[in-house]
Amino acid sequence: MTASILFLSNVMMNQPMWWAAFLGFILVMLAIDLGVFHKHEHVVSTREAMIWVCVWVALALAFYAGIRMGWIGAYTDAIVRKQASIDFLTGYLVELSLSVDNVFVFALLFKYFKVPPIYRHRVLFWGILGALIMRAIMIFAGVALLHRFHWIIYIFGAILIYSGIKMWKSSEVEVDMDQNPVLKLVRRILPVSRGEHGQRFFIVENGKRLATPLFVVLLLMEWTDLVFAVDSIPAVLGITSDAFIVFTSNIMAILGLRSLYFALAGVMNRFHLLHYGLSAILIFIGTKMVGAKFYKIDSTVSLYVVAGILVVSVVASLMVPPPPAKAEEEVKEGEKKD
């Protein structure tokens, strides 16, 4: 434990100004989001969501350019800056693409618990905030383990290859809410109220403090992100072990996850072949980690491979019509929105 804390302090002190600046940027953006644009609860439109998706992507590209030009980070050498910037962009693309599965599960959670659209942004906001904290802990733990025990890279690689093969065989993300162990545990130990109680997570009823169904959704959302982080964080660690790059690329992608949900929730079925691309990315990075001792793949090549796989899977999804069952489900979702 002491060694881990010492490692964390050394990492933070490596370029303290940039760590502080990035953490300040996160707090400012979250404050602007909640205190300005969502001061009053409202249903987030697709247009608004798409604007925010573009904002987050633009900020990520600006961050990439800042590292490349030497404006961000303590990277003085031009070659090191190029390496760090490419690693950031690759990690961002990997994390953003793997977040699509999170979006699908969020949609299932909202549908299962019948969460009104007007309250979904609030749940997602606090869910993403919790995810940021969990991701930070897992990232620093992963980086510390890699620096202390380099052989763990092979375990991370094996996890990614296994996850990629499993994802390839599965046609879609399967979530059985009735059999979910977390939901069963929450219902057993936490008194939960019945009915809708607006945007509140807790209420007092007959002198007793009760959690609302909205809080249960929040807990399940945190659990979902924790499960998916087991794949996504090792995937980024397979690209670089630079804690600053791993952290910033991961967090930048997570910050845009809420907007991504509102933009894609209604058209998820159109990207019915994307999971094949995601599985290929996991297998590629896992293979890269396992075989790093024998052959090191250049960062630029990794970026082109990841971007190429994403483009091919998205284009193929749009060109090849989805199975009849998925197409029918998409039509029903569209009718509900209208």
- Please determine, for residue 58, whether its predicted confidence score (pLDDT) is greater than 50: yes
DSSP-derived pairing of the beta strands 208-211 and 202-205: antiparallel
Q: ∠ CA(62), CA(63), CA(64), 5° rounding? A: 90
Length of the chain: 338
CA nearest neighbour of 107 among 211, 323, 287, 257 = 257
Q: φ and ψ at 70, to 5 degrees?
A: 85, 10
What does the pLDDT read at residue 327? 47
Is pLDDT of 132 > 70? yes
**Using one digit for the tens of pLDDT, what is the confidence trace for 303-336?**
899 899 989 988 988 888 776 655 445 445 444 5
Q: Residue 50 in contact with residue 263, Cβ under 8 Å?
A: yes
pLDDT category of residue 3 using cuts at 50, 70 and 90: very low
Task: Please indicate whether residue 312 or residue 241 has the higher confidence score (pLDDT).
Answer: 312
Domain extents for the chain?
2-332
* H helix or E strand, kind and range, residue 84: helix 78-112
User: Would you give the distance in Å from CA 123 to the centre of its chain?
Assistant: 15
In the prediction, which pLDDT does 88 show? 94
More confident residue, 59 or 263: 59
132/195: higher pLDDT: 132
Task: Calculate mean pLDDT across residues 75-101.
Answer: 87
**Measured distance CA(9)–CA(11) in Å, rounded:** 5
Percent helix, strand, coil in the chain, to 5, is 75, 5, 20
The answer to whether 251 and 229 are in contact (CB under 8 A) is: no
CB atoms within 10 A of CB 52: 20
